[in-house]
Amino acid sequence: MPVTPSSLFPPILPARHGMLAVDDVHTIYWEEVGNPNGIPVIFLHGGPGAGLSPQHRRFFDPHAYRIILFDQRGAGKSTPLGEWRNNTTQLLIEDIERLRQMFGIERWLVFGGSWGSTLALAYGQAHPDRCLGFVLRGIFLCTRAEIDWFIHGVEWFYPELYAEFIAPIPEAERGDLLKAYCARLLCDDPDTYWPAARAWSRFEGRRVFLLPQEDESPSDTLDLGVGRLESHYMANGGFLEDDQLVRDIDRIAHLPAVIVQGRYDVICPPLSAWRLYHAWPGSRLRMIPDAGHGALEAGIARALVAATEQFKRNGRFD
């Protein structure tokens, strides 16, 4: 397990938590943390399918922020776990709006990392009048080039992980690894989808941090959520037009934003953060020189906390 950065706020339990049925299939888990009269912020986790961690509450001063967190459809404590049907970016955006209305919040700060940055941008561009600003980490714009990098390009840095990833797939199917994995992950046979989910999750998880970490205990919840939902969303291009999030940046260009990016992130390489920064007038880019992709790497955590502290003081990022 990675060491918890000292820059985070102390552990805190939710003031309230519960389940919200969003359609006939999905029920999502939510929690509210911190000051009920504080600055509202919505936390969007990665994956898709990765779910929440208690550490995610700790990027915010609980005396200053009203922190809303939730497990997206098919992730974490939301049910059914790993369910990919009725699961699109547009439906996740609707879920965020349901939560905002349920909590009686007019506008909130939007905080998201990795896939959470994708969803934050898509939500903001759909509902710019509901956003105060953005704290984004490990930028993923869900373009075809980024998806190809995630599946294939990383072989240049982690050939041994790539060899393990392709090993279960017959050579005749390796020309389209995403399709091959989707065929296994999105079927209804547990004997087929569980090995594929574990292989997919390990392929990603073992390259999150810049420096090697102690192996974490296996998590069926994480493996199934990440394996099924990441493959489903990637196969559908995130349910976005290619490069839509940069193309439509004018919808949120007036809002403050900080972009925190690990220099050696091999899951979401820095080019995407660089492109977003240059497309977004007034945004701030914090390139962390000694970090990979993980939100809990010391430099990244420190920059994220600094961002929420800056916004707390003056409603912008200096």
1 pLDDT exceeds 50? no
Name which residue leads in pLDDT, 111 or 216.
111
Domain range annotation of the chain: 16-143+239-314, 144-238
Q: How confident is the model at residue 216 (pLDDT cuts 50, 70, 90)?
A: low
Predicted confidence at residue 217, as pLDDT, reads 64
Q: How confident is the model at residue 83 (pLDDT cuts 50, 70, 90)?
A: very high
If you average pLDDT over every residue of the chain, what do you get? 95
134 pLDDT exceeds 90? yes
pLDDT tens per residue, range 67-82: 999 999 999 999 999 9
167 pLDDT exceeds 70? yes
pLDDT tens per residue, range 26-68: 999 999 999 999 999 999 999 999 999 999 999 999 999 999 9
Predicted confidence at residue 3, as pLDDT, reads 57
Active-site positions read 114, 265, 293
Q: How confident is the model at residue 213 (pLDDT cuts 50, 70, 90)?
A: confident
Q: How confident is the model at residue 215 (pLDDT cuts 50, 70, 90)?
A: low
191 pLDDT exceeds 80? yes
Predicted confidence at residue 219, as pLDDT, reads 86
- pLDDT average, residue stretch 151-165: 95
Classify domain 16-143+239-314 at the CATH superfamily level: Alpha/Beta hydrolase fold, catalytic domain (3.40.50.1820)
Q: What is the DSSP string of the chain?
A: -PPPPTTSPPP---SEEEEEE-SSS-EEEEEEEE-TTSEEEEEE-STTTT---GGGGGGS-TTTEEEEEEPPTTSTTSBSTT--TT--HHHHHHHHHHHHHHTT-S-EEEEEETHHHHHHHHHHHH-GGGEEEEEEES-----HHHHHHHHTGGGGT-HHHHHHHHTTS-GGGGGGHHHHHHHHHTSS-HHHHHHHHHHHHHHHHTTSSSS--PPPPP-HHHHHHHHHHHHHHHHTGGGS-TTHHHHTGGGTTTS-EEEEEETT-SSS-HHHHHHHHHHSTT-EEEEETT--S-TTSHHHHHHHHHHHHHHHHHSS--
